[in-house]
Structure 1
Amino acid sequence: MAGRPREFDRDQALEKARDAFWRRGYEGTSMADLVSALGLASARIYAAFGSKEDLFREAVALYEANEGGFATRALQEEPNVRRVIERMLRDAVEIYTRPGRPQGCMVVAAATNCAVENDAVLQWLAEHRLARTASIVERLKKAVRDGELKPDTDAEALGDHYATLMHGLSVQARDGVPKKRLHDLVTVAMQALDASLSQAP
């Protein structure tokens, strides 16, 4: 019928929005950028997703369910603490440096330098990052309780160390540091955990 807007694939549109936000961050991605990336008029984007903030939150959820879920998968699937931490860091390097894809971590990259009116988004992203840190700390505390790590291990400091490293890997990847260098960094970083293992790996 003439004048009727063509149907669009909502999932595909959400993927395009995710990549736009991943590349430029929340504030760096304008509505005009989203119109261009999705190939849809702004009225249709609003009708399908609500506000720009609603679309962003949905895009982050998509990221965390797929590429960004690597840390959760490592925590759930790996049988010992050393393998959990190493897989988490190595998967981070692989995902953050994929050719032809946005570099770094969407949740880290999206959160820098927002204006005051976007404080709610900043706070929401901070909560996501803090929850990830807490999950790593909790896994390390469990390893201490289970005897995988020495009883005097400071699980909180070690967890903060690896969470900070993961965020740093994101920044390094966006800066174009080669994948091999980032993997070498992970090799060095694992020494802190190895020193706390009850038995040598």
Structure 2
Amino acid sequence: MATRGRPRDFDREVALRQAMQVFWERGYEGTSLSELTAAMGIKAPSLYAAFGSKEELFREAVRFYDLLEGGATNRALREAPTARAAVEAMLRDNVKEYASPSTPPGCMIVLAAVAGSTESAGVREFLAELRRSSTTDIQRRLDRGVAEGELPPGTDTAAMAAFYATVLQGLSIQSRDGATLETMTAVADCAMAAWGSLVKPRKKR
């Protein structure tokens, strides 16, 4: 039996993809309910029946984004043969995606709700936790590099992970501001040129 208020031809995944695009382009607070329903091709009662609320729809759209568009980082950290190659692939692969004309510029997880009203605090924390998780994933790959002898014992992998995560997030903002592929690639070049100075034991406090 169809959920009340949902049209018979409702395709949940297609609607979710459309919502993802709108949130990605305009952010959480910048997206109105009417814009969402227009993009999704459904009416407000159908949206609430299928997703519960705007916030719940947003959270699901972010998870959908991470599954479809956020694979560059996970793929690089998982598949590259060395920690250095993993970090470099993470930066360069994301730069290519940020510059793609087929999708909104930048990363949805970075850009969708950096700031906002008190009512959106839960959304901001949700995205912040995803960004922290990404930094943790980078550090784990660097820690593996230490364990495998690629990086020297005592390398400050936490600082390195934070640095490269910050570069990646900054590239996302640069992309939204109109930076070209060439400009962002140059930033990635600079970040990788810093690798040698970062690969050293942490200072004693």
Correspondence for 1:66: 68
Structure 1 segments unaligned to the other structure (5+ residues): none
Pick the aligned partner of 1:103 from 102, 105, 122.
Answer: 105
Correspondence for 1:57: 59
- 1:168-183 pair list within 5 angstroms: 168-183=170-185
The residue identity in structure 1 corresponding to 2:103 is: R
- 2:80 is the counterpart of 1:115: no
- 1:21-170 pair list within 5 angstroms: 21-170=23-172
Identity, % of aligned pairs?
47
Q: TM-score, normalised by structure 2?
A: 0.89
Q: Shift of residue 26 of structure 1? A: 0.9
Correspondence for 2:203: none
- 2:9 is the counterpart of 1:7: yes
Q: Shift of residue 8 of structure 1? A: 2.1
Q: SS of 1:27's equivalent? A: coil
Alpha-carbon RMSD: 1.7
**Whole-Å Cα distance in 2 between the matches of residues 27 and 167 of structure 1?**
20
Q: Shift of residue 97 of structure 1? A: 1.4
Q: TM-score, normalised by structure 1?
A: 0.91
Does the CA-based 8 Å contact 1:35-1:42 persist in structure 2?
Answer: yes
How many residues align? The count is: 195
Pick the aligned partner of 2:193 from 191, 194, 198.
Answer: 191
The residue identity in structure 1 corresponding to 2:132 is: L
Q: Shift of residue 160 of structure 1? A: 0.6
- Deviation above 4 Å: which 4+ runs of structure 1? 195-198
